[in-house]
Structure 1
Amino acid sequence: MPTTSRQIDPAGVLLGLIVPVLCAGTVLLLTRSWLPRLPEQVATHWSGTTPDSFGSPMSSAWTAALIVLLVGGGCCSIAALAQAQLMMRRYMLATGLAVTGTITVLFLAALGAQLDTTGPEQVSLPGWTAMAGMWVGAAVGWLGGRLLRDGRERKRASSAPDPALPRGRAELPIVEQVGVGTGTVVVLSLLIAVPALLVCAGTKSWWPLGLFVPVALLVLGLLRFTVIVDEAGIRVSNLSATALEYGLEEITGAKVIETQPFGDWGGWGLRAKGRGRYGVVTRSGPAVVVTMASGQELTVTTTRAEEIAGALNTLADRR
């Protein structure tokens, strides 16, 4: 019998919807409470650390609050949809809360620097607060993303895999790293670091580098995956968090095919091809295709495709 599928994830509602709303509300409430101590016009934009645009405190606060809700909240709101792909929800939550943290902390820090001043012309932008806000937001988003639960439909298999499918014994667990190698990661890291260093040189400060680091970690995290096969089934993890997981009780069979990331999937990495068909495709060549009783399907490119398929089918036979 199929298990009950969840439509809304409570942790996703809290982190992806309520947190951005609270941040936007904090911006508005604090600005309103600070009005007696603020000049009539506050700095709203800076060239480097020098203000070059000004506006009323409350209009600036409403602009910041709307950006938090529309950009930050818009990105991470998908975390509340339990049936959306789990890894995508985690990445969007981390991205959305990073944006939310950056804008909220930077705006309040800039406004706080203008308290009890006669004018904002000489106020410097506390740029390091943007870095702090991004780090806090990204950390809350990624760590909080571990609380998200996959609400996809799960259905128990009613029969053993097709006898024609491969069988074989394997020493469990089977653990394999798939994706780019260490050398490629280093090269890509340098490509990200160079623009960051140029921005630092332009602003004559090191804090912009702190804005690039969380972005680089999230981008590079999409390039490497860990595939684990054991008595519980098969799962794919990314940055030490489960991206895809299928229990042994769901598996109807596993086979080996030849596939190409761009030719067959339209891209590289974690891909979706139709409803419920996911692929971790990081190279051309053999891949294991695991099918579930619910109709979902997982394809993983790996040099150990035959071994993984044989192990899963053998485990499913014992089930």
Structure 2
Amino acid sequence: MLAYLAISLAVAASLAIATFAGRRAAVRPADGSRSRLLGRVRPTAAAAPATSVLIAVVVLVLTGAQLDGAVPASWVAPVAIGVGLALGLVAGWITWRALPEPDAGEAADAAPALPLAPGERAVWTASSTAPWVVWVVIALVAGCLIVPIVVAPTAWWLWGVVVLVLVVLLATIGIRATVDARGLTVRTLFGVRLVRVRLAQVVSAAEVEVLPGEFGGWGFRIDVRGRRGIIMRGGPGLEVRRTDRAPLVVTVPDARTGAALLNALAARARRG
């Protein structure tokens, strides 16, 4: 029982660290309100107890079913997972309701457009990679490949799923953002295009301060305000307000320059 409690607390602690992780995680809203900061990180904060309850229930049920040394029935594992998910959702919902309401926030001020001469061509590009925490997760996933292969070598779908997750993680450990005459393009470090925002779709672009916890962690995310995010780490990010979709946030260094160039190119495109 103590071991399961320790595992659950460790998971909750790791998710709590992820909630507030980032180079500028300690930055608070302009009014200094702690409740507003908690509202921003509400998704990740609610995920911590939900995940802990899920793990604890599954481990306890599966262990209890094998205390007499017998092989548990085939229905035990699915039921354990189903009950764990249900109770985890309840724990997450209770936590979500207990935390302050997220601040709707105001749109960031657009970055001043870069002065461009008529016909002048300009390109901005920046790269961003995942923090060490994500690398640790990838290493753990790679280590977990050994478990299903050894324990259940005939259950190919088990390790097949883990391999798929590992490939996806490796494909999204870094991004490169480019602003040019085509608009904003974001690709993985392997060259696969993730998103493109054409100049005709750009309303405005701005530099914003990003906390991974407000998007629920790293990767492809949606925050409580509906913004789409490609979140690699905490710190500066390029936010693009679009005509036909929700705002897009990409965490990259020197985001102010990228936003200023995107505003200039979009304004030129509108003038024809």
TM-score, normalisation: structure 2: 0.47
TM-score, normalisation: structure 1: 0.41
